[in-house]
Amino acid sequence: MEKTMLTGDRPTGKLHVGHYVGSLRRRVELQESGGFDDIFIMIADAQALTDNADNPEKVRQNIIEVALDYLACGLDPEKSTLFIQSQVPELCELSFYYMNLVTVSRLQRNPTVKSEIQMRNFEASIPVGFFTYPISQAADITAFKATTVPVGEDQLPMLEQTKEIVRKFNSVYGDTLVEPEILLPDNQACMRLPGTDGKAKMSKSLNNCIYLSEEPEEIKQKVFSMFTDPTHIRIEDPGKLEGNTVFTYLDAFCRPEYFPEFLPDYTDLEELKAHYKRGGLGDMKVKRFLNAVLQAELEPIRKRRKEYQKDIPYVYEILRKGSEKAEKRAAETLQDVKAAMKINYF
């Protein structure tokens, strides 16, 4: 069977290191592995409008920011199709037919939608478009017959919903759509990276992010003001790792080579953690190490981003070509769908 990857991001802000460890880094690895027949990466502007209808300019401007972040991280337009959701109208048509296969109560039970409604204070007046975005997300995934969707943990309920739609469609109209598999990060810290405030997940909407384009001095400031273990007061005190944001970030970002490079008196992260738990290791030393790790990870990304930023028309051209290719593929699926439903009358 063909292997196709689809994933994407909402253009509601620049991408942050939560996106990077939750999905972006994996996409680039999979792209380089050569294991896929096709890779589609979508900038979900239409979905972003479902809760930003009054601010289309924000969405418009962030399309280019997200595209720059993609290219900076190593997504390669020769190997991956980068496209803009709204430029593929077939996705709306698919959503329209899928809406008949989902109940209102099923959407109300979707835990991600529930918590997002709360976060946005939508309780009293939920826009219909926002409420139904899991259906439109099912259209995005199935339009490309995606087999693999690498995303963070918050997307699990979305993938479940998509699978249900696929099963329902196939059982009513005959085998047409492909059931996708979610690909979660293999490391717990990356599933839902907390914000620099240590509380909720890092999210553009919560102002607790380290952005991929962040300058070195800002990264350092954010790392140095992070939460550790509040009971770890003197260096000699034993420290806790649970809920310690600095160690969560090390779990997400540290590579073995960073030890000989930045902290040669330890062999690996396990040894560093053991010392912290025992006592005798100060927070500042761990923060300095995390800062060095993040600077090493983000410097090449920031540099590449600045290069692409010099030629914005070229970036738009990549998105135009990608959107054309994506539309062709979605149109094929729409034909299959209409044929299965027997609504291809002429």
Q: Which helix (H) or strand (E) holds 172?
A: helix 156-173
Residues 6+ apart with CB under 8 A from 341: 97, 173
The sign of the CA dihedral 145, 87, 56, 94 is: negative
- CA distances, 127 to each of 62, 130, 168, 232, 307 (Å): 22, 5, 26, 46, 39
Tokens for 74, please give them.
Answer: 């190593």
Of 8-16, 26-34, 139-147, 271-279, which part binds ligand ATP (CB under 6 A)? 8-16
Using rule CB under 6 A, residue 192 touches ligand ATP:
yes
Using rule CB under 6 A, residue 27 touches ligand ATP:
no
The 3-state DSSP class for residue 39 equals strand
Residue with tokens 């693999």: 148
Question: Among 143, 151, 293, 340, which residue sits at the site for ligand ATP (rule: CB under 6 A)?
Answer: 151
Q: Which helix (H) or strand (E) holds 4?
A: strand 4-9
CA dist 317 and 326 (Å) reads 14
Using rule CB under 6 A, residue 203 touches ligand ATP:
yes
Using rule CB under 6 A, residue 10 touches ligand ATP:
yes
For the CB of residue 35, give the shortest distance to ligand ATP in the complex, in Å: 19
Nearer Cβ to ligand ATP (22/180)? 22
The 3-state DSSP class for residue 81 equals strand
Using rule CB under 6 A, residue 201 touches ligand ATP:
yes
How would you label 137-171 residue by residue, b for 16+ Cβ within 10 Å and e otherwise? bbbbbbbbbbbbbbbbbbbebbbebbbbbbeebee
CA dist 62 and 85 (Å) reads 13
Question: Per-residue x/- mask for ligand ATP, residues 256 to 295, rule CB under 6 A?
Answer: ----------------------------------------
Check if the beta carbon of residue 37 is closer than 8 Å to that of residue 55: no
For the CB of residue 29, give the shortest distance to ligand ATP in the complex, in Å: 15
Using rule CB under 6 A, residue 26 touches ligand ATP:
no
For the CB of residue 152, give the shortest distance to ligand ATP in the complex, in Å: 2
Using rule CB under 6 A, residue 65 touches ligand ATP:
no
Using rule CB under 6 A, residue 50 touches ligand ATP:
no
Using rule CB under 6 A, residue 154 touches ligand ATP:
yes
Using rule CB under 6 A, residue 248 touches ligand ATP:
no
Nearer Cβ to ligand ATP (178/184)? 184
Of 149-157, 222-230, 242-250, 273-281, which part binds ligand ATP (CB under 6 A)? 149-157
Question: Among 43, 193, 210, 319, which residue sits at the site for ligand ATP (rule: CB under 6 A)?
Answer: 193
CA dist 64 and 312 (Å) reads 8
Nearer Cβ to ligand ATP (145/204)? 204
Nearer Cβ to ligand ATP (47/142)? 47
Amino acid found at 141: I
Of 11-19, 57-65, 121-129, 295-303, which part binds ligand ATP (CB under 6 A)? 11-19
Of 14-22, 70-78, 92-100, 257-265, which part binds ligand ATP (CB under 6 A)? 14-22
CA 219 to chain centre: 20
Residues at the site binding ligand ATP, with contacts judged by CB under 6 A:
9-10, 12, 18-19, 22-23, 151-152, 154-155, 192-193, 201-205
